[in-house]
Copies of this chain bind each other. A is one copy, B any other.
Amino acid sequence: MPPMEQKTAVFDFLGLKTAICSASTAQYSRARDMSNDPLVVFTPSGKRGRFPVGTPVLTAARQLGVDLDSVCGGRGICSKCQITPSYGEFSKHGVTVADDALSEWNKVEQRYKDKRGLIDGRRLGCQAKIEKDVVIDVPPESQVHKQVVRKRAEARDIVMNPSIRLFYVEVEEPDMHKPSGDLERLCEALKKQWDVKGVKADLHILRQMQPALRKGAWKVTVAVHLGVDRQSPRIMHIWPGYYEGSIYGLAVDLGSTTIAAHLCDLKSGEVLASSGIMNPQIRFGEDLMSRVSYAMMNKGGDQEMTRAVRDGMNALFVQISKEAQIDQALIMDAVFVCNPVMHHLFLGIDPFELGQAPFALATSDALALEARDLDLNLHPTARVYLLPCIAGHVGADAAAVALSEAPDKSEDLVLVVDVGTNAEILLGNNDKVLACSSPTGPAFEGAQISSGQRAAPGAIERVEINPITKEPRFRVIGSEIWSDEDGFEQSIATTGITGICGSGIIEVIAEMRLAGLLDASGLIGSAEQTGSVRCVPEGRTNAYLLWDGSAEGGPRITVTNPDIRAIQMAKAALYSGARLLMDKIGVDTVDRVVLAGAFGAHISAKHAMVLGMIPDCQLDKVTSAGNAAGTGARIALLNTNARREIEDTVRQIEKIETAVEPRFQEHFVNASAIPNSADPFPILESVVTLPSVSFNTAGSEGGRGAGRRRRRAT
C-alpha cells in the first residue's frame, strides 16, 4: 500500500523555523513576492511578519511562534484564540491600520458572538483573516504560556506549562480497507492537527474511546499527559465532542504536622481552593525521629504510618474537591513536597536508614509515579511527581523552597530559612548554593513552652514591653486591638486569652531581653534585680508574668526559665546551621534573609534578630516567603520545565551535614546566648539597645554580662 500523501513545508521565516504540516496552510507558500503582502505585528511579543491576504490570524501567529492558545484547532469552537486588533497610526511599528484590516465577521465567528458573547473589540483569531497591515494584541488569557501572578511582588510569576493539556481533534473514520485501530487514527489526528507525536493511551482509555468517538461523531477532546519534553505523551482522558470544562492538579506540602494542599485549575493556573489537615501520623510520634523509632520498635510500624498518611491524604482530597466544587476524578496531576522521612513513609519505604548515620536516602532523585501506586483516589491514571530530595535531612520540601525562592538566581547572597520542627537552610547566590538542616524541635511552634499553644484565636501573638515600666502590652489572635487599648476586653470576649503561640513567644522573649528583664545567658532577673513585680520566683529561677487571668478563671500566663531554655536551644540550632553555611562560603554577613514556612510569615524580623535566630542583617532585608514549599510545589505543578530546573538545581546544591561538622558545636554554644556570645550584631545594635545585664548570682564568670559584645573569636 503506498503511504498516504502528505504535504509538509518547512521554511525559515524571520529567523523562526516553523513546520507547517496541514494541507490547508500549504497555500501560503513562500514561493512568491512577499513585499506586497500585508504586515502583521503582534503585541506584546513584537513578533512581525508579512502574510498573504486571507491568512487567518491564528495561522500567522503559529507561523511566527506567537503564543496564541487554541484547543479546538481553529474551528471556532473554543474561543481560546481571542485577539484584539488595534486600529490607527502606530509610528512605533511603522504601521497604519485601516478599519478593514481584518476580514468581515464570518458566520462561525458571528454565531460564536451571538451565542457566547465576545468582549467588545475582540475577534476569534482562527476566523478573522488578514486583509491589510494590522497590529494585533494577544490578551494574557489567550496565551498558552500565560503567567500566573503571585501575590508577593518580589516573587517571579509562574509561567503556565502544565504536564497535561487538552486537545480537540477530528478523527478519521474507520475504513475496512485500511484497517488501523481507532486509537491509531486518534493519535494520527493528534500528530497532524497538534504536532503531538508518538502518543500512546492509558489502558482505561481503550475501554472508553470507541463509544466516545462515535458519540462525538468522530470529534473528541482528549487530555494528554505530555511527559518530559513531550517524549512519551499519553492520553489520560477522553470526552465526546468539545469539552468545555477544565482539569485539575494538586500541589501538596506534606509536613510532619500538617498536610496542606492547593487545588489548581490546570488550564488557567488559578488556585481554586487551599486546604489542610493534621498529619494523621502524629499519633505515632510528634517529631520525625519519634516516627522513625516507632517504625524501628514496631514490626510493620512503617506500613501503619504509610497507610495513615495516605488515608489522610485521601480525606484531604475529598475535602478540597468539595470546597472547590469540582469532580475529584478530574484531578489528573499532583505534586508532592515533603521532608525525607515523610517522603519515605509516603512512598512506603521504611525510614530506618534515615534514623542513623550516614542517613542514606533510598532515593534522592525526583520521582514520576501514578496516583494508584500510592493508593490515592484521584483520576484513575493521575500522575504524581515528587520533587528531589537534597540530602538525608534536607528533603523535597527544601527543594521546593529553592524552586520558589530561587537562591541560585539571586544576585546578592541570600539566606533562606524554612522554619518548622526541622529547619531547612539554604545559603547562596547565582554562583553557588549550600544547604543543610538543623533540628530546631517544636519550640517555635509553641510546643515545650509552659503556656505555649498553636496559633489559634486566643493565643498571644504580638508583645511589647515598656523598657521603663517593664509592663507588657500584647495582641491576641482574633483581635486587632492591643491589650492596653479601649475595647480590648470586648474584642476578646469570645476567645479569651488562652496561651502564647510561636511568634508570640519569640516577641515576648526578645522584648524581655530589650527591657533588661532577661540577660544574654538566658536568665530572667528577680523582682529585686529588675525592679518589676512581674518577675516572680518559680522554683530556683524566675518567671515573667505576662497575663494573669486567674481572677476570671482564666490562665496565668508566664514565661519561665525552661521556656527560655527551649527557645535558646531551638534558635541556636537554627543559627548555627546558617553560620556553618556562612563559614563554608567564607562570609560573616548575608545580604538578605528570607523566612519561609507558615510560622516564618508571622515572625517579626527585629525580634528574631534580637534573639539571634538569624544573622545580623538590615531589618528591611528580612522578608517572609510564606509557605514557600507549597509555592514551589505549585510552580512544579503548573510548569513542567520547572521540574527539570529544580532537578538540575538540586544536583548542584552542595549539601552540608551539620552533625559531622566540627564547628557546629562551637557555633551552637555561642548561639545559645541572646543574641550570641561570639558573633557581633552591629546592624541590629544600630537600631536597638541590648542592656548589658547579668542575673547570674551563682558565680563571677558571667558576671559582667554574657550579653556584652565580644569580637568574633575566629
Contacts and interface: CB of A to CB of B under 8 A. Distances in A.
Given A179-B360, A183-B363, A210-B352, 5 more contacts: A176-B657, A179-B358, A179-B391, A207-B349, A210-B349
A364 B210 CA distance: 13
B181 A364 contact: yes
Contacts of A1: 652, 654
Interface in A357-375: 357-365, 369, 373
Interface in A332-386: 347-350, 352-353, 357-365, 369, 373
A363 B184 CA distance: 6
B655 A363 contact: no
Interface string A636-655: 00000000000000001011
Contacts of A182: 353, 360-363
Contacts of A352: 210
Give the interface centre of A174, A363, A365 by most chain B CB atoms within 10 Å: A363
Contact of A364 (B184, B369, B391, B655): B184
17 contacts: A174-B359, A174-B360, A176-B392, A179-B359, A179-B390, A180-B364, A181-B361, A182-B363, A184-B365, A201-B363, A203-B347, A203-B348, A207-B350, A210-B349, A210-B353, A210-B360, A211-B350
Contacts of A154: none
A657 B369 contact: no
A190 interface: no
A652 B2 CA distance: 10
Given A176-B359, A363-B182, A347 B654 contact: no
Contacts of A4: none
A415 interface: no
Given A182-B361, A184-B363, A363-B183, A349 B176 contact: no
Contacts of A392: 176, 179
A203 B369 contact: yes
A23 interface: no
A551 interface: no
Given A1-B654, A657-B177, A206 B357 contact: no
A1 B390 CA distance: 14
A676 to B, nearest CB: 27
A528 interface: no
A114 interface: no
A635 to B, nearest CB: 23
Contacts of A389: 181
A362 B206 contact: yes
A552 interface: no
A209 interface: yes
A654 B390 CA distance: 55
A153 interface: no
A175 interface: yes
B176 A660 contact: yes
Nearest to A3: B651
A348 B207 contact: yes
Interface string A178-197: 11111110000000000000
Shortest beta-carbon contacts, A-B, top 5: A181-B364, A179-B391, A174-B360, A183-B363, A181-B361
A362 B179 contact: no
Given A176-B392, A657-B176, A181 B362 contact: yes
A340 to B, nearest CB: 10
A352 B659 CA distance: 65
Given A1-B654, A363-B181, A363-B182, A176 B207 contact: no
Nearest to A174: B360
Contacts of A357: 176
Contacts of A210: 349-350, 352-353, 360, 362
Contacts of A353: 182, 210
Contacts of A201: 363
Interface in A384-422: 389-392
A384 to B, nearest CB: 10
A307 B507 CA distance: 66
A181 B392 CA distance: 8
A111 B17 CA distance: 65
A692 B147 CA distance: 88
A390 B347 CA distance: 41
Nearest to A361: B181
Nearest to A175: B358
Given A179-B657, A657-B179, A363 B206 contact: yes
Contacts of A179: 358-361, 364, 390-392, 655, 657
Nearest to A373: B203
A9 to B, nearest CB: 26
Contacts of A183: 362-365
A652 B659 CA distance: 64
Contacts of A349: 206-207, 210
B176 A358 contact: yes
A349 B657 CA distance: 54
Interface in A197-217: 201, 203, 206-207, 209-211
A344 to B, nearest CB: 8
Contacts of A365: 181, 183-184
Contacts of A181: 360-365, 389
Contacts of A363: 181-184, 201, 206
Nearest to A353: B210
Nearest to A179: B391
Nearest to A357: B176
Contacts of A655: 177-179
A600 to B, nearest CB: 25
Nearest to A306: B207
A295 to B, nearest CB: 12
A425 B317 CA distance: 54
A177 B180 CA distance: 56
A605 B135 CA distance: 79
